[in-house]
Structure 1
Amino acid sequence: MSCRFFKSILWVVTLFITFGLNAQFTIKGRVTDASNGDPIPFASVGLKGLPYGTNTNFDGFFELKAKSLSDSLFVSFVGYKKRVKSVARIASQTIDFQLESAQKALEEVIVYSGENPAHKIIKKLLAHKSKNDRAKLDAFEYDSYSKIELDVDNISEKFREKKFMKEVESSIRKFQKIAGEDGKLVIPTYISETISKFYFLNSPNRKKEDILKTNIKGVGVQDGGFVSQLLGGNLFANYNFYSNFVPFFGKDFASPIGETWKSNYRYFIGDTVKVDNHTCYQIDYEPKNSMDLLFNGQIWVDTTSFALVQIDATVGKEANLNFIDKIKISQELEETKEGAWLPAKTRFMIDVEELTKNSAGMLLKIFVSNKNFVVNKPHETGFYDLMSEVKEDAREPDPEFWKYARHESLSTQDYEAFALVDSVKNLPTVKTYVEIAELILSGYKKFNDIEVGPYISSFAINKVEGARFRVGFRTNAKFDKNWILRGNVGFGTKDLIPKYQLEVNYLFSKKKWTIGGIKHSYDIERVGLTPELIGDNRLFYAFTRWGAFSGAFFRRSSEIFFNSELVKGFSINTSMATRSFDPLFRFHYRIQPELGLASPVKDNLNETFLTIQARYAKNETFIMNGNERITLATKRIPVLTLTYQQGFKDLFGGDFNYQKWTFKAYQTFNFGKIGHSDYTFSAGYTPSTLPAPLLFPHLGNETFFFVRSAFSTMNYFEFVSDKYASIQINHNFEGLFFNRIPLIKKLKWRFIASANAVVGSQTSSNQELMKDVNNPLRSKFLENYAFDSLDPNKPFVEAGYGIDNIFKLFRVQAFHRLTYLDRPNVSAFRLMASINFSF
């Protein structure tokens, strides 16, 4: 008995000694940003007072193993306050951390002799760029998983007292508990998951994303069409920091590893760190001027290949941006067999500030995971024509599919977020907010498959029509995927003449974007201010409907058209149209100008004409909105348009045979710190003899609103040409000047400058066509607006300057007229304003 007892004691002692010698404690957890829940990669985690530590991975997770424990665990990371939590003396435990921003700049290290060691590494990184940059690849493709979440954050106490907040209070409390004891309250309003296949072709530059499966829950999400185009995160968050600039919001942020790295940033070398079996240099960087469009953060560079392995890039509230508290991009790259590195994981976060003191902010988070890379196996060029394509069964619910399709499992907080979205989206108050937002953004009110608007054109008051009322509509993809109907009806309380328009389109192909249709309208217009001259500026066009309404005429128009994108970026638009011109002012032109004053005259005109337009926009990309497409513009490559018109006399009542040629080029430029510019060059020529309204009326602007396409100090109908060339240049210096002026820099103003010029003329035959026709009863209209010709040796020139971003919304610009100052009823100086919403 005693022997057995001693053997048991000996076994227990031996086990205790063995366990003591080989004991291992495990602590797991996740480190996130307290303000938005975003994971913090490569934060330092360690036991206080003991030599045991680790780093978080790309998703913020850590696992620390130690042979002994202290009483506390700490987490630290540059730009955040250090956190310490107590540790239980158990074998395995989970401890999560939420870190608060420290808003503290790096301390500058002064190197007294030799070169900053961080600079040496950056130089080697750039020297190896040709090998490591994905731009060297002819093509690549991969499988992708994207998750996009839109939250309400920065919620004030007054906002929490709102009725709809009270209605979801229980769900919010549950979600807030899961977020952690230090996390701030956020309310998810939209979450989407996407499985897709992404393709990229280098030359010609093409990209495509096939949406294979989607899982969407969101407030106001009614149709997968437009929303689905935004689901594939690779189209919007596939950043390449090897490029000199990283673009978003229409602005370019200088890359910390671009050519301007040394002039824009300060660098500080840290310890070497293991990143997915790559030993890396860690380098912290910060902008030399925090208000410039620059990042701060960290980069990790492989010590052998000098490739960029991971980058964290943050834009703070100090930068000259509007409505933004913070932008953060985290990207982890993976080496391919060709040597170039592709993005394996990307996190993109935008924290939008609250617009008023008692409102709330918005938080957009995008996570993209890519795998199964295939490089340098391009498809034929036509394969890439449709930028984003949603498969037929992509939106069909399939819970079993998502269990295995995700590249990583959803967290408990993710599942609660999905449930909370379902609670919020069906509240009547929330639905009302969504409808108001849609009305403001699109101008249309949706009624299932028909949309009514645009409301900006629904009412006006002018001297010709009195109070003008108009109701318009358009159908969307719910009505029909191919047939599109548009129209409007209106009348004025003074003239009581009904106006109308009806258009029927058929979409033959989305891939080649081939569409045809017919339209007919009868409405009142103004000479030189017609829709074809003003373009897409609906606000300016609606405003010209108000006031004195000089130069008014009735126009009856019928048109049949067919447009097709023959190859990517190159489209042909053709149309056959008839138009009438019945002026409401005294207007005549000579039918036989060779007879001089003896010529018979006519006070209206009709034209029948064929239009052929070729448009080339290299690398232009689009997203589909049901049966419409929206351009995402080009990458600073000229958009070229060549238009030819042929008029036919006696065909459908046409009064003239004529030919007209028009050429237009538009392009934007980036000049780094100096800002960005755009120009519009236009030229036109007609060898035909025509009344002035059928020539090229130059677009003037007598309003107080700045319009980019108009000449700001030129009157309406002041000049008309039969051949001309014009250039309009605008430059925004961003914060180049004001960012460096104390006190003023806090206003985030931006200096802007403009220069416009046009040279043109009319042939003598065109001038004789209308010369002295209306004497001796010359109308008041023609006294002020005689469709005069420019002097071919004297261009019309104006220059402007001003301040943009006043109160984050307004632009004020002064324009000086530099030539043709001796003309009656002209202003040598005009002060103009506009609403300019930009980040």
Structure 2
Amino acid sequence: MIYPKTLKLLIVIIVALAYQNANAQYTITGVVTDAKNGDPLPFATVGLKGMNVGAQTNFEGIYVIKTKVLSDSIYVSTINYKRRMKVLDKKIFTQTIDFQLQGEAKSLDEVVVYSGENPAFKILRKLSENKNKNDRKRLNAFEYNSYSKMELDVDNLSEKFKERKVMKQIQGAIEKFEKLAGEDGKAVIPTFISETLSKYYFRENPSRKKEIILKNNIKGVGVKEGGFVSQLVGGNIFANYNFYDNYVPFLGKDIISPFGDNWKGTYKWFLSDTTNVDGHICYGMEFDPKNDKDLVFIGKAYIDTTSYALVQIDATVGKEANINFIDKIKISQELEQTSEGAWLPSKTRFLIDIAELTKNSAGMLLKMYISNKDFVVNQPKELSFYDLPIEVAEDSKEPDPKFWLEARHESLSAQDILASKLIDTVRNVPIVKTYVEIAEIVASGYKRFNKFGIGPYISLLSVNKIEGIRTRLGFKTNSDFSKEWILKGWAGFGTRDLTLKYGGEVDYIISRRHWTVAGIKHSYDLERIGLTPELIGDNKIFYAFTRWGAFSGAFYRRESEVFYKTEPTKGITFTSSLTTRGFDPLFEFQYRTHPDQGKHSPTVDHYDDTFFTFEARFAKNETFLMDGNERITLGSKRTPTVTLTYQHGMKVLNGDFRYDKFMAKVFQSFRIGTIGRSDYTLQAGYIPTALPAPLLFPHLGNETFFYNRAAFNTMHYFEFVSDKYVSLNYNHNFDGLLFNRIPAIRQLKWRLIASANVLLGSQREENKELMQEAIPVINPKHTKGELQPRYSFSGLDPNKPYIEVGYGIDNIFKIFRIQAFHRLSYLDHLSPSGKSPRPFALKASVHFSF
């Protein structure tokens, strides 16, 4: 028997349960990531099967769905990925369901049907019209606090690769990481991870940028903590992408922006949806390249319906694009509106998926996340503040986990934490240490020890007719030895000439901020006319190859120099030096000491030269990194680099000549729309004084099989010598403009290249007469051995330029370049040693480029 009070209680409970069930709400959350690399996928659509209920993932790939009615399954779909579906449990009101999606190529042509004008075009025109209001370039200056996280992994591990000795030693740790990757995730081996806090500053006019690395925590396999690594992990200097520009620079490539001036000619567009993105009602816009072999993106962006500003973008460059060694480049960016109306990047995530070079090798995965906040606009600093673009604070190293718990903008994921632990395991494996050492030698040319390095390996051995088998060994100290003093030295010996060659240098870094260095050096070596280091420049590989073979135009040179170099303000460098050089040729050589006496003048077959040099170099917006005690330029591709040089010869310190020499050089690399990228080197020189031919301007020829960008590739060594000249070396890379559109070969990713080299010069009669025969001289040193024949040192016709043109194919098997050159003038001119002219030359080179 049920009592009335009990009955009432049961009724209340039943009613309460019925009410709760009627008002029950299911909550489903999760993270959507790329199954291959673990990268979050923003803008993915997550929905319940058979129902009009769903959500979209945010910038971190997170979704939240709240609903009173639940279907039996949940799905996720997004552009360029396979659609996934999972079963739901209706008995559970709060569920966490993560998705890992497999990549899949997609073309918008399959789904887009328009009647009349594409509706996306009106929105894109509005975006262009409002660009001046929304683009960060409208700001005079801005600054913000930044947190960045970088990770480098080994991925695409084949079963055969896992069987290698190095892999077996860390297999246990890898298995833990595989479990964390989840049901669909691919195994990866973290090799580097870092966290960085920095302050970033930008000034628009003149354009200046600066990043101060405040704190960092760096852990990696083979990574030696120091200035170079600390500067790279900052991120904002390298990853401050602006999609309003016509091109987005990445890895030295210019990727066509979907919101640049050519948005209609390069991309196909689809207006997909309208959604709320952080309080902004936005148009969802999908874009797809018209030619996937071009340097273009595929992805999705959200544009504010009121201001027509770019709010978020997720852009990917696939492996179909004409980029080497890369399976994918992905850039995701979320922007925030400032008080002045312009938008700045608040979050940026980029990923580089480096392809495996062979079937059984592994690939690499570079991921970086940058979070910016506390924006301050239109408060520019003094110009001098930006002199050092990247600055690392003295106490930047901060490994304390408690500090980072408070400092980082977002918490680390479980995968991040395990990755850090795995790095400790991997970097202590002996075979890994060996691989790291080999990689360092290949990259730097030196075998590094604690405080110095031995090398460079490319100069260890050469064979030529003068020296026989030449061996050379050198060293240089590093920043562990001293952060101010740099010591360098080398010694070489030939089995045929039995002559010791040597060199030494001592440098002192006075200031790193304004890069002020003073030094003294001395050397004795065998050189060649027109192929000396100061003429060849930084092309160390070409210089090493010129030391093989016949070795014509050889001479011994004893050189001493004192120099001072400084950068008083950003982009301007001054160098001054006092140099003495001795010229002792191994070929028949003489010049008249008193040319006014004609054939009755005495002659000399060697000379000493003492001169002062002042050089001014102007390179706007050039950025440098410090690698220990060395400064590495990242170039100044979009503005000319101008170098002006003046030399004054003096009759002091055994100098035989008094003269003036003026030189100028301009280099620039620039983009020509969709046609490709060009670069040119414009040079000029003038010597008003009569001097022996080796002291004039011997023009750089190339008799090797290897291509040299700075040389005249159909010209013999020192074939022409001028006392007044102007030259132009012009090169153009069409990227994939032609070959990308030829069906039979577009998969090869070849790149058409073209070049033209022009030289206009002359040699005055007084310089020619100075080299004419007169009273011969006998040098006892030369009578002991066989001299090479006399050379002509011809001048150019001032009314007839030397011209050569070239064309070829770059990126053959991703590393080879073959270029043909035609000589169009001086086709009857003999080389200094009497060789026939070369109207045609075929050159090859090996280089790694993306």
Task: State the TM-score, normalizing by the size of structure 2.
Answer: 0.97
Q: Of residues 154, 178, 187 in structure 2, which corresponds to 1:185? A: 187
Which residue in the other structure is 2:839 paired with? 828
Letter in 2 for 1:30: V
Structure 1 residue 798 displacement after superposition: 0.6
Which residue in the other structure is 1:785 paired with? 791
Residue 800 (structure 2) pairs with residue 794 (structure 1)? yes
Render the CA deviation track for 1:461-508: whole Å, top value 9, x for unaligned: 111111111111111111111111111111111122111111111111
Q: What is the CA–CA distance in structure 1 between the aligned matches of 2:637 and 2:700, rounded to whole Å?
A: 28
Residue 820 (structure 2) pairs with residue 814 (structure 1)? yes
Q: What is the CA–CA distance in structure 1 between the aligned matches of 2:711 and 2:23, rounded to whole Å?
A: 81
Q: Of residues 201, 206, 209 in structure 2, which corresponds to 1:199? A: 201
Letter in 2 for 1:460: S
Render the CA deviation track for 1:238-282: whole Å, top value 9, x for unaligned: 100000101112211110000011111110111101111111001
Structure 1 residue 51 displacement after superposition: 2.9
User: CA separation of 1:776/1:422 partners in 2, compared to 1, >3 Å: closer, same or farther?
Assistant: closer
Letter in 1 for 2:838: S
Is the contact between residue 604 and residue 777 of structure 2 (CA under 8 Å) also seen in structure 1?
Answer: no
Which residue in the other structure is 2:70 paired with? 69
Q: What is the CA–CA distance in structure 1 between the aligned matches of 2:553 and 2:451, rounded to whole Å?
A: 38
Structure 1 residue 324 displacement after superposition: 0.7
Which residue in the other structure is 1:587 paired with? 589
Render the CA deviation track for 1:315-365: whole Å, top value 9, x for unaligned: 111111111111100000000000000000011001011001100000000
Is the contact between residue 602 and residue 775 of structure 2 (CA under 8 Å) also seen in structure 1?
Answer: no
Structure 1 residue 108 displacement after superposition: 5.1
Which residue in the other structure is 2:625 paired with? 623
Letter in 2 for 1:658: Y
Q: 1:92-111 counterparts in 2 under 5 A?
A: 92-107=94-109
User: CA separation of 1:47/1:113 partners in 2, compared to 1, >3 Å: closer, same or farther?
Assistant: closer
Is the contact between residue 147 and residue 197 of structure 2 (CA under 8 Å) also seen in structure 1?
Answer: yes
Please give the secondary structure, in 1, of the residue aligned with 2:108. Answer: coil
Which residue in the other structure is 1:741 paired with? 742
Please give the secondary structure, in 1, of the residue aligned with 2:218. Answer: strand
Which residue in the other structure is 2:753 paired with? 752
Letter in 1 for 2:828: D
Which residue in the other structure is 1:477 paired with? 479
Letter in 2 for 1:680: T
Structure 1 residue 68 displacement after superposition: 2.3
Please give the secondary structure, in 2, of the residue aligned with 1:236. Answer: coil
Q: Of residues 416, 419, 422 in structure 2, which corresponds to 1:417? A: 419
Please give the secondary structure, in 1, of the residue aligned with 2:584. Answer: strand
Is the contact between residue 314 and residue 329 of structure 1 (CA under 8 Å) also seen in structure 2?
Answer: yes
Is the contact between residue 271 and residue 281 of structure 1 (CA under 8 Å) also seen in structure 2?
Answer: yes
Q: What is the CA–CA distance in structure 1 between the aligned matches of 2:775 and 2:468, rounded to whole Å?
A: 28
Is the contact between residue 718 and residue 785 of structure 1 (CA under 8 Å) also seen in structure 2?
Answer: no
Which residue in the other structure is 1:427 paired with? 429
Is the contact between residue 600 and residue 774 of structure 2 (CA under 8 Å) also seen in structure 1?
Answer: no
Structure 1 residue 49 displacement after superposition: 2.2
Letter in 2 for 1:173: E
Q: What is the CA–CA distance in structure 2 between the aligned matches of 1:448 and 1:391, rounded to whole Å?
A: 24
Q: Of residues 151, 165, 168 in structure 2, which corresponds to 1:166? A: 168
Q: What is the CA–CA distance in structure 1 between the aligned matches of 2:518 and 2:206, rounded to whole Å?
A: 28
Which residue in the other structure is 2:347 paired with? 345
Which residue in the other structure is 2:258 paired with? 256
Is the contact between residue 515 and residue 564 of structure 1 (CA under 8 Å) also seen in structure 2?
Answer: yes
Q: Of residues 351, 371, 374 in structure 2, which corresponds to 1:372? A: 374
Structure 1 residue 534 displacement after superposition: 0.2
Is the contact between residue 218 and residue 225 of structure 2 (CA under 8 Å) also seen in structure 1?
Answer: no
Is the contact between residue 32 and residue 97 of structure 1 (CA under 8 Å) also seen in structure 2?
Answer: yes
Which residue in the other structure is 1:10 paired with? 11
Render the CA deviation track for 1:528-577: whole Å, top value 9, x for unaligned: 10000000000000011111111111111111100111211011100011
Structure 1 residue 188 displacement after superposition: 0.6
Structure 1 residue 50 displacement after superposition: 2.7
Structure 1 residue 113 displacement after superposition: 4.6
Render the CA deviation track for 1:212-253: whole Å, top value 9, x for unaligned: 111111011113221111011111111000001011122111
Letter in 2 for 1:570: I
CA RMSD of aligned residues (A): 1.6
Structure 1 stretches of 4+ moved >4 Å: 108-113, 773-777, 779-784
Residue 156 (structure 2) pairs with residue 150 (structure 1)? no
Q: 1:509-658 counterparts in 2 under 5 A?
A: 509-649=511-651, 651-658=652-659
Q: What is the CA–CA distance in structure 2 between the aligned matches of 1:781 and 1:19, rounded to whole Å?
A: 106
Q: Of residues 497, 500, 506 in structure 2, which corresponds to 1:498? A: 500
Q: What is the CA–CA distance in structure 2 between the aligned matches of 1:29 and 1:578, rounded to whole Å?
A: 72
Residue 700 (structure 2) pairs with residue 699 (structure 1)? yes
Q: What is the CA–CA distance in structure 2 between the aligned matches of 1:785 and 1:648, rounded to whole Å?
A: 27
Q: What is the CA–CA distance in structure 2 between the aligned matches of 1:171 and 1:776, rounded to whole Å?
A: 77
Q: What is the CA–CA distance in structure 2 between the aligned matches of 1:563 and 1:710, rounded to whole Å?
A: 27
Q: 1:53-92 counterparts in 2 under 5 A?
A: 53-88=54-89, 89-92=91-94
Render the CA deviation track for 1:679-735: whole Å, top value 9, x for unaligned: 000000011110001111000111110001110011011110000000010011111
Q: What is the CA–CA distance in structure 2 between the aligned matches of 1:359 and 1:110, rounded to whole Å?
A: 40
Q: What is the CA–CA distance in structure 2 between the aligned matches of 1:112 and 1:620, rounded to whole Å?
A: 47
Q: 1:355-370 counterparts in 2 under 5 A?
A: 355-370=357-372
Residue 747 (structure 2) pairs with residue 770 (structure 1)? no
Q: What is the CA–CA distance in structure 2 between the aligned matches of 1:317 and 1:720, rounded to whole Å?
A: 48
Render the CA deviation track for 1:370-423: whole Å, top value 9, x for unaligned: 000001111111111111111111114222110111100001111001111111
Render the CA deviation track for 1:73-126: whole Å, top value 9, x for unaligned: 111111111111111221212111000112121235666653211011000001
Structure 1 residue 52 displacement after superposition: 2.1
Structure 1 residue 8 displacement after superposition: 2.2
Structure 1 residue 785 displacement after superposition: 3.5
Which residue in the other structure is 1:240 paired with? 242
User: CA separation of 1:434/1:184 partners in 2, compared to 1, >3 Å: closer, same or farther?
Assistant: same
Residue 342 (structure 2) pairs with residue 336 (structure 1)? no
Q: 1:26-41 counterparts in 2 under 5 A?
A: 26-41=27-42
Is the contact between residue 717 and residue 786 of structure 1 (CA under 8 Å) also seen in structure 2?
Answer: no
Is the contact between residue 460 and residue 472 of structure 2 (CA under 8 Å) also seen in structure 1?
Answer: yes
Q: What is the CA–CA distance in structure 2 between the aligned matches of 1:804 and 1:57, rounded to whole Å?
A: 41
Render the CA deviation track for 1:605-635: whole Å, top value 9, x for unaligned: 1011100000000111111111211111114
Is the contact between residue 143 and residue 199 of structure 2 (CA under 8 Å) also seen in structure 1?
Answer: yes
Please give the secondary structure, in 2, of the residue aligned with 1:234. Answer: coil
Structure 1 residue 511 displacement after superposition: 1.1
Residue 721 (structure 2) pairs with residue 720 (structure 1)? yes
Structure 1 residue 774 displacement after superposition: 8.7
Render the CA deviation track for 1:754-791: whole Å, top value 9, x for unaligned: 100111111111110002359899x9988673111101
Is the contact between residue 591 and residue 773 of structure 2 (CA under 8 Å) also seen in structure 1?
Answer: no
Which residue in the other structure is 2:461 paired with? 459
Letter in 2 for 1:734: D
User: CA separation of 1:575/1:802 partners in 2, compared to 1, >3 Å: closer, same or farther?
Assistant: same
Which residue in the other structure is 2:123 paired with? 121
Q: 1:675-694 counterparts in 2 under 5 A?
A: 675-694=676-695
Letter in 2 for 1:145: Y
Please give the secondary structure, in 1, of the residue aligned with 2:381. Answer: coil
Q: What is the CA–CA distance in structure 2 between the aligned matches of 1:110 and 1:348, rounded to whole Å?
A: 29
Q: What is the CA–CA distance in structure 1 between the aligned matches of 2:690 and 2:788, rounded to whole Å?
A: 20
Structure 1 residue 18 displacement after superposition: 2.1
Structure 1 residue 146 displacement after superposition: 0.4
